Amino acid sequence: MRISYSSLDTFKTCPLKYKLQDIDRIRAPKNIEQIFGASIHSTLKYMFERKPLYPTLNQIIDFFRNLWDQQKTLIKNEDVYFKEGISLLERFYKRNQPWNFNVVDLESRFEVDLDNPKTGEKHVLAGIIDRIDKNDDAYEIIDYKTARKMPGQDNIDKDLQMSIYHLGLLRRWPHLDPGKIKLSFYYLKHGEKISTSRNKNQLEENKKFIFKTIDEIKERIKNNYDFPPLPSGLCDWCGYKQMCPMWKHLYQSQISNFKSQKDIEPVIKEYFELKDQNDKNNDRLDELKTLIYGFMDEQKVERVFGAEGYLTRKMQEKISYDIKKIKEFLKEKIDNFIIKKQFTILTALRKKIEK
């Protein structure tokens, strides 16, 4: 199977999204975050390209503006993203003037052959590394992130994407010393670079995880393409929301084979009214119970009577054992038995009780 980190990640996040995207190959409309991320990535690639000189900051901003303008039809009233992009690029340029880095490749494509030792199946792991730098004899993989959230070092140290990139770099240049590969995420909105590295054991664990995930995917395909939706906070960024059974109903124009909205609306309304009434009743019942139990405590009774019936407080029966007495009782019984029968097994049992 040919798979990328992003597909593995999509499958883990939501199997249905994986199916729609990677098996059915349905193209989803891009959201503003994706358009923003792709435009920034392309602009940063342009920033480090020397043709024959590095572009100036004005040229970089113009490049970004052109990209943005080309997508005007997809982006409506999203000026705030455009402005954020400009200030992000300016900040980045100030700190990372291109001539200070020895960039060996940009948007570097790789493929890694992965053979599952258990099943003998052959897989190919593919991906694109944003940037590769060389500092003396050490290499640094840099992945740009436009996310607002910046994960902690712990998560970065376990991150699967970076492990896959590490394997990709080694596949490309097998002579490299794995100990001299630095893996960095550059969080552009924060201007922070967080680095990590990988050892052999970690990479072996990652490979096992990849094989396991591929097996899960294959199992689901075998099982009649059973890829269920897994709703989460990430649904807000999912391009398949309108066709997803978890959200489809929200989009009125998509409802054709449902009962008509006019029919179902009063049913939903009644359901929520009853549920609301139920919740209120339950709250009041709890209050009444507290009052009645208070009365029972005061009167030292466990059952109270009214004209409509009576109410009993559930009493818990507690059974407690006197372990010492039980041990003595058993010892005596067993001793008598041993004397009579001389059963060795019971002698052992007695020793156990004595402990």
Determine if 229 is a binding residue for ligand SF4 (CB under 6 A): yes
Nearer to ligand SF4, 75 or 235 (CB): 235
**Three-state secondary structure string covering 147-205:** CCCCCCHHHHHHCHHHHHHHHHHHHHCCCCCHHHEEEEEEECCCCEEEEECCCHHHHHH
Q: Which two tokens stand for residue 349?
A: 């049992």
CB of 228 to ligand SF4, least distance (A): 9
Name the one range near ligand SF4 by CB under 6 A: 42-50, 171-179, 228-236, 332-340: 228-236
Q: Which two tokens stand for residue 177?
A: 């010393």
Determine if 178 is a binding residue for ligand SF4 (CB under 6 A): no
In this structure, are residues 184 and 141 in contact, taking their beta carbons and an 8 Å threshold?
yes
Determine if 235 is a binding residue for ligand SF4 (CB under 6 A): yes
Count of CB atoms within 10 A of residue 348's CB?
9
Residue of the chain from 231, 296, 338, 346 that contacts ligand SF4 (CB under 6 A)? 231
Residue of the chain from 3, 5, 7, 17 that contacts ligand SF4 (CB under 6 A)? 17
Determine if 16 is a binding residue for ligand SF4 (CB under 6 A): yes
3-state secondary structure of 25: coil
Determine if 288 is a binding residue for ligand SF4 (CB under 6 A): no
**Measured CA distances, 255 to 17, 237, 245 (Å):** 20, 21, 11
Residue of the chain from 3, 14, 129, 162 that contacts ligand SF4 (CB under 6 A)? 14
Site string for ligand SF4, 29-68 (x = CB under 6 A): ----------------------------------------
CB of 246 to ligand SF4, least distance (A): 5
Q: What residues contact 244, with CB distance under 8 A and at least 6 apart?
A: 16, 229, 235, 238
Determine if 221 is a binding residue for ligand SF4 (CB under 6 A): no
Determine if 247 is a binding residue for ligand SF4 (CB under 6 A): yes
Residue 158 to residue 7: CA distance in whole angstroms? 18
Nearer to ligand SF4, 221 or 235 (CB): 235
Nearer to ligand SF4, 132 or 244 (CB): 244
CB of 19 to ligand SF4, least distance (A): 9
What's the sign of the alpha-carbon dihedral 28, 30, 31, 33? positive
Q: What residues contact 351, with CB distance under 8 A and at least 6 apart?
A: none
- What residues make contact with ligand SF4 under the rule CB under 6 A? 14, 16-17, 229-231, 234-235, 238, 240-241, 244, 246-247
